[in-house]
């Protein structure tokens, strides 16, 4: 079975055609995953697909069972994961609809089950995490973008906030001062758990809106959903090329 997996985020629910039935048992030792992973066609290649907010979209970022999702994909044989993440753009040059591949993150989340090393039974593992998104999946995404002429901006730093509310303008000023160029709610603990589980993990961020500012119009969720819907055709093309590169 395929070693590829896609974790879909907000606006990325029904991007691909199922190529078989969803798996039946979604309950792991960490509890239930967000949904039953389903095999999908990425062009002529198969991949597992799992929507982290569930299907329909209903699980808020701080309630996602990230451990179950990652463990289930690993159990199914996935080894290379691309996550799709909706983000706000902090760097002024980022516009709504831009695609960004982060190479760094700062974790501002709290209270999430963020490690498999969580009791006396599990082995205690201190993973190396200096480059949280580095690996063959990200390398292949870069090649896929070059081949398809999709403008995938490289080198972002993803600030992961707790949500589900959006940030205050002062929080965004602080994130910018910390070096974050995009902000979203879901890359952690997902990226770290993937590393703990031995999965190669990269992220494609879709900039849905400029991040909060006092001198801008309030962020509209309707506008976020409109931008995401418009951007997903490029994400699909990119992931189909990614699957070929892998
Ligand atoms: N902040 C956090 N998460 C987001 C945003 C944002 O502005 N837009 C889309 N996801």
Q: Is 191 helix (H, G, I), strand (E, B) or coil?
A: helix
Tell me which of 95, 185, 228 to substitute to probe ligand 1's pocket, judged by most ligand atoms within 8 Å of the beta carbon: 185
Assign residue 211 a region: left if phi > 0, alpha if psi is -120 to 50, beta otherwise? beta
Q: What is the CA radius of gyration of the chain?
A: 17
pLDDT over 90 (residue 192)? yes
Range with lowest mean pLDDT among 56-60, 117-121, 235-239: 117-121
Using one digit for the tens of pLDDT, what is the confidence trace for 79-93?
Answer: 999 999 999 999 999
Tell me which of 184, 187, 223 to substitute to probe ligand 1's pocket, judged by most ligand atoms within 8 Å of the beta carbon: 184
Q: Per the structure block, which two tokens stand in for 208?
A: 């849905």
Q: Per the structure block, which two tokens stand in for 82?
A: 């691309």
Cβ-contact 101, 235 below 8 angstroms: no
Cβ-contact 142, 154 below 8 angstroms: yes
Q: What's 43's DSSP letter?
A: T
Q: Select 4-245's CATH number: 3.40.50.1580, 1.10.645.10, 1.10.3720.10, 3.60.150.10.
A: 3.40.50.1580
Question: Which atom belonging to ligand 1 lies closest to the Cα atom of 209?
Answer: 8
Q: Which residues line ligand 1 (CB under 6 A)?
A: 86-88, 161, 166-167, 183-185, 208-209, 211, 219, 224
Question: Which atom belonging to ligand 1 lies closest to the Cα atom of 184?
Answer: 3
Where does the pLDDT of residue 11 fall: very low under 50, low under 70, confident under 90, or very high at 90 and above?
Answer: confident
Rounded mean pLDDT, 213-242: 93
Residue-level pLDDT at 14: 85
pLDDT over 90 (residue 164)? yes
The protein residue with its alpha carbon nearest to ligand 1, atom 7, reads: 88
Where does the pLDDT of residue 61 fall: very low under 50, low under 70, confident under 90, or very high at 90 and above?
Answer: very high
- What mean pLDDT, rounded, does the chain reach? 95
Distance 60 CA to ligand 1 centre (A): 13
Residue-level pLDDT at 104: 98
Q: What's 92's DSSP letter?
A: T
pTM, rounded to two decimals: 0.96
Where does the pLDDT of residue 60 fall: very low under 50, low under 70, confident under 90, or very high at 90 and above?
Answer: very high
Q: How far apart are the first and last CA of the chain?
A: 14
Domain boundaries, the chain: 4-245
- DSSP secondary structure of 132-186: TT-SHHHHHHHHHHHHHT--EEEEEEEEE---SSPPPHHHHHHHHHHT-SEEESS
Q: Which of 84, 26, 18 is nearest to 47 (CA)?
A: 18
């Amino acid at each position: 079975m395929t070693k590829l997996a896609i974790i879909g985020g907000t606006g990325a629910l029904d991007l691909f055609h199922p190529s078989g039935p969803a798996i039946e048992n979604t309950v792991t030792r960490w509890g239930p995953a967000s949904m039953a992973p389903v095999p999908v066609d990425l062009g002529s290649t198969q991949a597992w697909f799992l929507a982290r907010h569930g299907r329909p979209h209903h699980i808020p970022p701080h309630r996602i069972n990230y451990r179950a999702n990652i463990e289930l994909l690993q159990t199914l044989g996935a080894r290379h994961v691309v996550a799709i993440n909706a983000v706000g753009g902090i760097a002024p040059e980022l516009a709504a609809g831009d695609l960004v591949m982060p190479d760094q993150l700062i974790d501002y989340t709290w209270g999430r089950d963020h490690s498999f090393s969580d009791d006396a039974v599990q082995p205690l593992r201190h993973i190396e995490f200096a480059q949280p998104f580095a690996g063959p999946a990200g390398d292949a995404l870069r090649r896929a973008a070059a081949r398809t002429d999709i403008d995938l901006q490289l080198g972002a730093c993803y600030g992961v906030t707790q949500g589900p509310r959006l940030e205050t303008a002062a929080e965004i000023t602080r994130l910018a001062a910390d070096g974050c160029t995009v902000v979203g709610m879901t890359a952690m603990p997902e990226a770290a758990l993937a590393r703990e589980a031995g999965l190669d993990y990269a992220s494609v961020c879709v900039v849905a809106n400029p991040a909060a500012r006092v001198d801008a119009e309030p962020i509209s969720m309707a506008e976020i959903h409109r931008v995401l819907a418009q951007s997903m055709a490029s994400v699909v093309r990119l992931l189909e090329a990614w699957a070929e590169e892998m």
